[in-house]
Structure 1
Amino acid sequence: MMYPVIDVGSNTLRLCVYDYDGFAVKTLFTKKAMVGLANHVSEGKMTQAGVEKLCTTLEKFKDTLVNFETEPVSVFATASLRNVENRQQILDIVRHRTGMDVTIITGEEEARLDFIGATKQVAMEQGILLDIGGGSTEIVLFEGGEITKAVSIPIGSLNSYAQFVEGFLPERKERKKIKKAVLEAVENAFGDVEISKGQTACGVGGTIRAACKISDHIYDLPTGHHHISRFQIDEVYDVLSDDMSRSIEVILDVVPDRLRTILTGLTILRTLVRYFDIKGVEVSQYGVREGYLYANLLPLK
């Protein structure tokens, strides 16, 4: 049976169609749209232009699904809608325009689903999971295959760009402001938690996957490499922050769709790696969408 899932993120909308044969899940099809909904928020509300982009993209995804014989489409939203004041009005407009009902998940639920999805692919019994999205960052501590603490902070690669960056790419003083905001948020959430040092993290989401791709490019590593060390994260950060012309060249060559947000995302990642004393990140191709699939849609979990 085929299950279509649409993830309404702050930076990206993504449609995935999964096939489940009763034993295993296989991704049949994916379609991505870089919409940047977090850029369309003013005074705490999503603008009309943002709502129009959302509806237009969902209508295109709906047209795509006409070619598939699937279960009804499941649509969920993360920080893109949970962080805006007019979320109910947006849900009503989307339902009227597209016929789709969108479920808004909480930050803690997003972190939980990240864990469920990622650990279906990356076998880790204990450690920390990081998911740097466009409008939030999810952090999960787990031990013995069970979550011990799951937190979402409202700082992501796109909304930090909108809040702190005035030019094309963030300057040093702007990256320092992002770092300060991240440190304040994680210290508030984890300051009283004893955390093991030198562990490997599980990484989820576009920022971390993009960092891994850039690292592979810099070090001429084989395609499909899914690990990035702390040293490599520092190296990628330095390459992208030291010389704007070089950084633009590298980004356009490797992850052009993240031209504006990769350095803000890397600033968040580097700050978290240092705060939690992480030695490296094992990158999972699975995350919140697959977690939503396993937790809510499949007949056998």
Structure 2
Amino acid sequence: MYAVIDIGSNTMRLNIYEHKNNKLYLILSKKITAGLAGYVNKKGNLTKKGVDVAIDSLKEFKMILNHINVNKTYVFATASLRNVNNSKRVTRIIEEKTKLNIDLISGKEEATLGYIGASMMLTLDDGLLIDIGGGSTELVLYEKGKVKQARSLSIGSLSLYKKYITNFLPTEKEIMKIRKNVLKNLRELDDYIEPAHTELICGVGGTIRATRELNNDLFSNVEYNKQIETQHLKELFNLYLNESHQFIKTIIKVAPDRLHTILPGMIILDTLANHYNSKVIEVSDFGIREGYLYTMINKE
């Protein structure tokens, strides 16, 4: 068995897998909503409180691992540590306090690993993969089963929440401001990923999985439905603006730990779908963690 710890901007997660016949089988998953992006100050530094939260979370994961015999534990960090100005210093402190080696992966690596993970679950021939995290959003354009472009945007569900939303949930005006920011970032990628007709999006990551759960509940889809029609995203926003009580009640039921971040994440997803003229989002339960672990095992 192998363990992988993902230090994300919104959540930190420990997953333990069995590796058999070149496939990964999830045995255990433990999530902590650490919200590290919320501990970044105006200077762009991760504060001492944020460092302490990361250390305490990792120590909690280590306590679990003390009772499970794994071949090896891999630890990686994404935008949570990559995008802060004191990245090297805080990474060193966290490593010293936890006795864990942290692999700080680039945005391009994060995008590519997300594609590798998703391709273990879905057949990915031609399309666009989107991974919306707490502090960054990754896009992968793939053709004939191969990565053509892998890009990362420094915007995520939690970082946009922190920047634009004054109260717990966004106003209509704040939603428009977030859309404008996302669109500005997307247009900077047009030279790499053309806003042509990309009918199918492959979605990975917690924000998109939570959106799928919301979609399935509100539109009476079967629980195991893996797709979101992009038209439904517009209907979800209309529901939020016109019947917010029902919308919030459903989020509390299906994804309570994402109550404040799911809407900024959905704005990113909806803006992306509009920009690339997409009709359907196919959601993968495998993503960066599986892609990272699979890559590391094959390197051994």
Q: TM-score, normalised by structure 1?
A: 0.96
Cα pair 2:10 2:34 within 8 Å, conserved: yes
Task: Establish whether residue 221 from structure 1 lines up as the match of residue 221 from structure 2.
Answer: yes
Cα pair 1:241 1:263 within 8 Å, conserved: no
Aligned residue runs from structure 1 range 159-238, under 5 A:
159-191=159-191, 193-238=193-238
Distance in 2, Cα, partners of 1:198 & 1:272 = 10
**SS at the partner of 1:190?**
coil
Structure 2 counterpart of 1:32, which letter? K
Distance in 2, Cα, partners of 1:230 & 1:147 = 24
- 1:24 aligned partner: 23
- 1:108 aligned partner: 108
**SS at the partner of 2:188?**
helix
Cα pair 1:168 1:260 within 8 Å, conserved: yes
Distance in 2, Cα, partners of 1:15 & 1:241 = 36
Deviation at 1:177, TM superposition (A): 1.2
Distance in 1, Cα, partners of 2:111 & 2:199 = 19
Partner deviation per Cα, 1:206-246 (whole Å, 9 max, x = no partner): 11111110111012222121111111222222222333333
Cα pair 1:139 1:150 within 8 Å, conserved: yes
Deviation at 1:22, TM superposition (A): 3.6
Task: Establish whether residue 96 from structure 1 lines up as the match of residue 96 from structure 2.
Answer: yes
- 1:37 aligned partner: 36
Structure 2 counterpart of 1:68, which letter? I
Distance in 2, Cα, partners of 1:50 & 1:192 = 35
Cα pair 1:79 1:135 within 8 Å, conserved: yes
Deviation at 1:21, TM superposition (A): 2.2
Partner deviation per Cα, 1:15-54 (whole Å, 9 max, x = no partner): 0011112432211111000010000000200111111110
- 1:272 aligned partner: 272
Distance in 2, Cα, partners of 1:174 & 1:218 = 24
- 1:150 aligned partner: 150
**SS at the partner of 1:45?**
coil
Higher alpha-carbon deviation: 249-258 or 264-273: 249-258
**SS at the partner of 2:277?**
coil
Distance in 1, Cα, partners of 2:292 & 2:285 = 14
Aligned residue runs from structure 1 range 40-55, under 5 A:
40-42=39-41, 43-55=43-55
Distance in 2, Cα, partners of 1:23 & 1:207 = 28
Task: Establish whether residue 4 from structure 1 lines up as the match of residue 3 from structure 2.
Answer: yes
Deviation at 1:59, TM superposition (A): 0.2
Distance 1:193 1:98, change over 3 A: closer
- 2:122 aligned partner: 122
Distance in 2, Cα, partners of 1:299 & 1:183 = 38
Distance 1:10 1:192, change over 3 A: closer
Distance in 2, Cα, partners of 1:204 & 1:241 = 26
Distance in 1, Cα, partners of 2:29 & 2:83 = 26
Considering only aligned residues, what root-mean-square deviation do their CA atoms show, in Å? 1.4
Partner deviation per Cα, 1:112-142 (whole Å, 9 max, x = no partner): 0000000110112110001111001001100
Deviation at 1:195, TM superposition (A): 4.8
Structure 2 counterpart of 1:66, which letter? N
Cα pair 1:91 1:101 within 8 Å, conserved: no
Cα pair 2:149 2:192 within 8 Å, conserved: no
Structure 1 counterpart of 2:282, which letter? E
Distance 1:211 1:120, change over 3 A: same
Structure 1, unpaired ranges of 5+: none
Distance 1:68 1:298, change over 3 A: farther
- 1:284 aligned partner: 284
Distance 1:191 1:181, change over 3 A: farther
Distance 1:193 1:115, change over 3 A: closer
Q: TM-score, normalised by structure 2?
A: 0.96
Distance 1:241 1:131, change over 3 A: farther
